[in-house]
Amino acid sequence: MDWHLLGLSFVTVFLSELGDKSQLAAIALGGSSKSLRAVFLGTAAALLLASFLGVVLGEGVAQLLPMRWVKALAAIGFAVMAVRLLWSGGDADSPLALENDPE
């Protein structure tokens, strides 16, 4: 077991992820969603799968997928969640919305 490599990859990824957009998303979703566990599991699973693909496929991932469309799709996803949060007033059926009294 190469502990040096393990520690190195841990520290490198930890520092590069700290304050990155996925962590900001986790803060925003964790604060505004009603199920912390679902947000944590979703975030962790997504990040694990993304780095797993990075390890397994190597540089192939950039060639396999049209990165522009992938990023655009993610941008649309975040925008939709933002709009649902900002315009959710009174619509407490939305699972992403906090319970707020309609005024």
Partner 1 sequence: MPQLVNHSSSSSVLPAHVEPPLSTLDPVIGSSESLSNDVATHYASETLMTATDPVASPASPQDSSLSHSQRFEIFLSTFFTIFLAELGDKTQVTTLLMTAESHAPWIVFAGAGAALVLTSFLGVWVGCWLAKRIAPRMLETLAGAMLLGISALLLWDVIQL
Contact positions with partner 1 (CB under 8 A) in 33-72: 33-56, 58-59, 61-62, 65, 67-68, 70-72
Q: How many residues bind partner 1 (CB under 8 A)?
A: 85
Q: Quick one: which of 47, 32, 44 has its CA closest to 81?
A: 32
CB of 83 to partner 1, least distance (A): 7
CB of 34 to partner 1, least distance (A): 5
Place of tokens 């993610």: 74
The interface with partner 1 within residues 83-102 (CB under 8 A) comprises: 83, 85-86, 88, 92-93, 95-102
Q: What is the DSSP letter of 94?
A: S
Whether 100 contacts 90, CB under 8 Å: yes
SS3 8: helix
CB of 18 to partner 1, least distance (A): 6
CB of 4 to partner 1, least distance (A): 9
Alpha helices in 58-94 (DSSP H): 60-64, 67-86
Q: What is the DSSP letter of 91?
A: -
